[in-house]
Homo-oligomer: A and B are copies of this chain.
């Protein structure tokens, strides 16, 4: 996420942020199968990173945690140092020996070329058991029914302005999802449509009789059928929101703020379906029989321009008199007052000319193109977790109101297609996708997997490594370069390869 947050880090009070927080409710400290991340006991002060500005106090720097990498990498202290080496940029994967990741998932990562002190990406891969709460529907329990549910979980978190948010999300987001699913365990296992209303715990059972409805209008007397699938989607959406709120509450609870923010790309496999939830600019694609199926879209100032502009238009106080919600194709100059310039507002996808007025000279809320696009000249992603303390540079204007923590969730039904071992779901942070197209990824999938036996579980790790290496390139001509001599990605790069029909997948 190269250069994503420009100078804004100067406004952040970063923190240790390493040991698990104690949320009031729900209690996420309860054990899942997830082992706690390697939480450093002794915070060490990293050197101030380039561009972090002098605004970060010594105390802040001191309080910053040393970095950690995903537990499943099983890094020794020496391995951890190698993973943290910007010069070597060694690709990291779980060890070939010992316990594999669920479904024989492949994983690889590499640190950035120097844009930040540590690798600010984080990852998580877990099998999570959800124990149902006591009967929520009021129906008597069947004694022999298994009360719990399992879901498989993969998460990629691409941090910016510090690694705190990404690390916290990698430790806790799946627990929030588990909490949200607890009330649904019974409902999801019942093939009948979910009850629209649940009795209160003390309570009278729900009457589904619609003859008591108020209003005779047909739109008011109707009743929507809600699917099991949409309950899981709602659970994931709310888990993202609660994760984000928990980050905001950290200061109150523990006297420190969560450092920075992060994009979150999460996969949940539950009851035959794959849910891909994305908030940020990571990306997920399925490569199935050579065909590419996009499973996410990116949320950036460009793709969310109209949402951002609408918010600035409806709540002008959020612009603080410093910004205009209008977009111009380039910065307006004072000498152009009275001339006509192209613009577009929250309602337009096309462009039109308008006469330049004084307030058009303000900074544009949204500006730039591609990787240079920014909200309030500061941040290049518009969805994610954290960033509660992010301010406009040299200003106290908060940016968080423009950011959304809600993911878009896409659902893929694994049972609708007979998958072969070469069918995979690929997740990558933008370090991969900045220099690799979907088609190039599909070609690498084909090339690498065909070099291995279909039942060799190491093939997915080899594929993840090939993808990371292909995006990183090799050191040459004073830079990391791809075979075509273009620059490779200098960003952190992290990749999951999830086999959809491989050995051990959804077993």
Q: Report Cα–Cα, A222/B350, bound state, in Å.
A: 19
A230: chain B residues at CB < 8 Å are 349-351
Binds B, one of A46-54, A198-206, A284-292: A198-206
B226 in contact with A377 (CB, 8 Å): no
Report A15 CB to chain B, min CB distance, Å: 27
The answer to the question of A400 belonging to the interface, with a C-beta cut-off of 8 Å to chain B, is no
Q: Tell me the complex Cα distance, A322–B434, Å.
A: 49
Q: Which of B197, B204, B339, B356 interacts with A340 by CB under 8 Å?
A: B197
> What sequence of 0s and 1s flags, for each residue 354-388 of chain A, a beta carbon within 8 Å of any chain B beta carbon?
01100000010001110011100100000000000
Assess whether A217 is in contact with B353, with CB atoms less than 8 Å apart: no
By the criterion CB–CB under 8 Å, are B351 and A215 in contact?
Answer: no
Of chain B, the residue at the smallest CB distance from A198 is B340
Q: Which residues of B contact A241 (CB under 8 A)?
A: 347
In the complex, the answer to whether B373 meets A330 with C-beta atoms within 8 Å is no
The residue among A197, A213, A221 with the most chain B CB atoms within 10 A of its own CB is: A197
How many residues on the A side are at the interface (Cβ–Cβ under 8 A)?
77
**Stretch with Cβ within 8 A of B (4 or more), from A161-169, A231-239, A486-494:** A231-239
**Given A231-B351, A234-B351, A333-B213: A341 and B222 interface contact (C-beta under 8 Å):** no
Contacts of A144 in B (CB 8 A): none
* Interface flag for A342 (CB, 8 Å): yes
Instruction: Give A338's nearest chain B residue, CB to CB.
Output: B200
Q: Which residues of B contact A136 (CB under 8 A)?
A: 340
In the complex, whether A336 has a CB less than 8 A from a CB of chain B is yes
Residues of B with C-beta under 8 A to A350: 229-237, 409
Interface flags, A315-358, vs B, CB<8A=1, else 0 = 10000000000001111010110111110100111111101100
Residues of B within 8 A of A60 (CB): none
A223 CB within 8 Å of chain B? yes
Instruction: Considering the complex, give the chain B residue whose CB is closest to the CB of A330.
Output: B223
Contact (Cβ within 8 A) B372 A219? yes
Q: Which residues of A, 234-265, contact B by the 8 Å Cβ criterion?
A: 234-238, 241
Q: Does A397 belong to the interface (CB within 8 Å)?
A: no
B199 and A237 within 8 A (CB): no
Known contacts A233-B350, A352-B231, A352-B234, A331 near B196 by CB under 8 Å: no
Shortest CB-to-CB span from A251 to chain B, Å, is 24
Which residue from B203, B347, B363 sits with its C-beta under 8 Å from A338? B203
Residues of chain B contacted by A342 (CB below 8 angstroms):
194, 196-197, 226, 231
A347 closest partner in B (C-beta) = B406
The answer for the CA separation of A352 and B230 in the assembled complex, in Å, is: 8
When distances are taken between beta carbons in the complex, the residues of chain B under 8 Å from A236 are: 350
State how many angstroms separate the Cβ of A334 from the closest Cβ of chain B.
8
Interface string of A59-80 (1 = CB under 8 A from B): 0000000000000000000000
> Considering only CB atoms, which chain B residue lies closest to A236 in the complex?
B350
When A212-B333, A314-B311, A347-B406 are in contact, do A367 and B222 touch as well, CB less than 8 Å?
yes
In this assembly, does A220 line the interface, its C-beta being within 8 Å of a C-beta of chain B?
yes
A6 touches B (CB below 8 Å): yes
Task: Specify which of A214, A217, A223, A374 lies most central, judged by the most chain B CB atoms within 10 Å of its CB.
Answer: A217
Verify A218–B341 contact, CB threshold 8 A: no
Chain B CB within 8 A of A446 CB: no
Determine whether A404 belongs to the interface, using a CB cutoff of 8 Å to chain B: yes
Whether B339 pairs with A219 at a CB distance below 8 angstroms is no
> What is the minimal beta-carbon distance from A489 to any residue of chain B, in angstroms?
18
Tell me whether B311 and A224 are in contact (CB under 8 A): no
- Name the one of B204, B225, B377 contacting A219, with C-beta atoms under 8 angstroms: B377
Contact of A222 among B197, B333, B347, B372 (CB under 8 A): B372
Contact partners of A122 in chain B: CB under 8 A: none
CA distance A408 to B306 in the complex (A): 13
- Determine how close the nearest CB of chain B comes to the CB of A409; give it in whole angstroms: 7
Taken together as a complex, chains A and B put the C-alpha atoms of A349 and B238 apart, in Å, by 11
Q: Is A415 part of the contact surface with B, judged by Cβ < 8 Å?
A: no
Tell whether, in the assembled complex, residue B329 and residue A220 are in contact, meaning their CB atoms are under 8 Å apart.
Answer: no
CB-CB under 8 A from A348, the residues of chain B are 233-234, 237-238, 406
Instruction: Assess whether A507 is interfacial by the CB under 8 Å rule.
Output: no
B219 and A329: CB pair below 8 A? no
Some 29 contacts from A to B, beta carbons below 8 A apart, are: A194-B342, A196-B329, A196-B330, A196-B341, A196-B342, A197-B336, A197-B342, A197-B356, A198-B353, A200-B338, A200-B340, A203-B338, A203-B339, A217-B377, A218-B368, A219-B372, A219-B374, A219-B377, A222-B369, A223-B330, A224-B330, A226-B342, A231-B342, A234-B348, A235-B350, A237-B349, A237-B352, A241-B347, A349-B408
Task: Contacts A204-B335, A235-B350 known; list 5 others, CB within 8 Å.
Answer: A223-B330, A226-B351, A237-B350, A347-B406, A349-B408
